[in-house]
Amino acid sequence: MSRLAHTRTKIYKTIARQLHGVVPCWVCGAHVLPEAATLEHIQPLSDGGNSHADNLAISHERCNNQRHALGSVPASCELAGSVQRREPIKSKR
């Protein structure tokens, strides 16, 4: 298994565990089956994004491809299918 596939599987399983088996597509909000899941860069690499876990989300392959073809970037917190990310824990120093 490639490193990217391992990362996708790990993120998918984490979201499924947190949301009791339902993994919403970051773009359309519908449930994503494991075999249809792709990793989506929330901030595209071309716009200065990175491949850290906090910039990755699960989406359908077709949604991921359509988003890139259209060049649109949805605002993740405003989408029905978005998974709200927790604020980073600040250390008390």
Write out the chain's pLDDT in tens, 93 residues.
Answer: 677 678 888 888 888 888 888 889 888 889 999 888 888 888 888 888 888 888 888 888 888 887 665 555 555 444 444 444 444 445 555
Domains of the chain: 3-78 (1.10.30)
Whole-prediction pTM: 0.62
What's the pLDDT at 80? Answer: 42
Q: How far apart are CA 51 and CA 43, in angstroms?
A: 9
Q: Is 11 exposed, middle or buried (0-12, 13-18, 19+ CB in 10 A)?
A: middle
